[in-house]
Structure 1
């Protein structure tokens, strides 16, 4: 009997192994364990051996549920992505912003997705559902199919980039503090850098905490301007 493909596991989600005695755990439990380990310790920690140990199984027993680690990671990705928001309301800009913020929350909660959910791979129902929801947010706009996908790609890249920059809290504040002494000594040579980092370091919340919203707003401004020009040319 052939091994199940990643696609069949993602879409069929069998809960029992294909042979042997009655299962002690379900596939959902295995995937949830992998996600929990990756959330706490990073993707590399979620090895087949580690997952098996956490569940009280042998590594070989785990292979009765999932063919290998690559397949396990794909299942973990789709599980961690969860269901896309389905109650996007209002005008297109508000809908797209809500979609982006929801995606940011997912990647912030599961930072390992930044390295796992990349490149050509099988898509599961949850991950594909995010694309469906994003396309629904901009449905009806005068954009070609390629432009719609490019819009989601630009927003997705911005979301991922922001999450990647905030692995540690207060990145800009830390950077400013690390550079403070150097900038103080060379402020005359680098006046703009000294002023900018000094202002950021002196900011309590406010503008610094709005960096994610600022970037998203500027992208949405660009899309809005593009649409206005297109409508004006028609």
Structure 2
């Protein structure tokens, strides 16, 4: 899979696109293309075909225009990816009420769901996040979830990074499991059934007592090597428990 990086394009051009500062002036009839239409189409292509399929040529094909006409509105793929990420973040809803734990739980679930709607987001490294309105609003409402709890500013930032980072990691495991099934045409249960006769010859309870016992129990319960949704629920609860210890120490 392709790995892309946000924040690798021209910063000025990216920011102009993100904040809608610059649209080419037009007289007469309404232009057929706009930057927003290009971004929407790019997201549709990435959702349907994956980030590997995304190119200016593919977007132009979907829009029924020439590839060169795209560059009138979007300078390149790097800047386009910044705007795609920011638009996707605009789908997130902030927590409206509840305790700090309920608010962070909401944030984690929103991020988990977003990555499943747009799996291509998981292929983008965001150490330089796109500094668009939705990205900044996301950070703001995530910080509000832990405001007033006695945490320092750096601790607030770290808590938000912990919760959103966990949701991203858990979603990646889930999406990758689904992709493995799609590529092989086999469910996890079918794959284990195919492996079982060979494993029975080499893996025994005497040599691997813990792995055999625990693995058998997990396999019977999950019918797979991993249960991403269950792991998300378990992990999120433990993450929030840890944050509670931090808050109570204040």
Please, what TM-score do these two structures have when normalized by structure 1?
0.86
- Correspondent of 1:165 among 168, 173, 176: 173
CA distance in 2, matches of 1:175, 1:142: 49
Would you say 1:210 and 2:236 are equivalent positions? no
Query: Within 5 A, what are the aligned runs for 1:1-234?
Result: 5-12=13-20, 16-18=23-25, 22-167=30-175, 168-169=177-178, 177=193, 180-185=196-201, 186-187=203-204, 188-203=206-221, 208=227, 209-228=229-248, 230-231=249-250
Contact 2:92 2:114 in 1 (8 A): no
Label 1:147 to 1:203 Cα distance change in 2 as closer, same or farther (>3 A): same
Label 1:46 to 1:116 Cα distance change in 2 as closer, same or farther (>3 A): same
Contact 1:173 1:200 in 2 (8 A): no
Contact 1:77 1:117 in 2 (8 A): no
Label 1:121 to 1:97 Cα distance change in 2 as closer, same or farther (>3 A): closer
User: 1:182 Cα shift?
Assistant: 4.8
User: 1:130 Cα shift?
Assistant: 1.4
Label 1:4 to 1:158 Cα distance change in 2 as closer, same or farther (>3 A): closer
CA distance in 1, matches of 2:80, 2:66: 16
CA distance in 2, matches of 1:197, 1:180: 12
Cα RMSD for the two superposed structures = 2.6
* Residue correspondences, number: 226
CA distance in 2, matches of 1:31, 1:163: 24
> Any unmatched runs of 5+ in structure 1?
none
Label 1:4 to 1:64 Cα distance change in 2 as closer, same or farther (>3 A): farther
* SS of 1:210 mapped into structure 2: helix
Label 1:182 to 1:146 Cα distance change in 2 as closer, same or farther (>3 A): farther
Structure with higher RCO (Cα < 8 A, 6+ apart): 2
User: 1:66 Cα shift?
Assistant: 0.9
Contact 1:162 1:212 in 2 (8 A): yes
User: 1:121 Cα shift?
Assistant: 4.0
> Any unmatched runs of 5+ in structure 2?
1-10, 182-186
Contact 1:138 1:148 in 2 (8 A): yes
Please, what TM-score do these two structures have when normalized by structure 2?
0.80
CA distance in 2, matches of 1:99, 1:174: 35
Contact 1:7 1:124 in 2 (8 A): yes
CA distance in 2, matches of 1:88, 1:45: 37
User: 1:197 Cα shift?
Assistant: 2.2
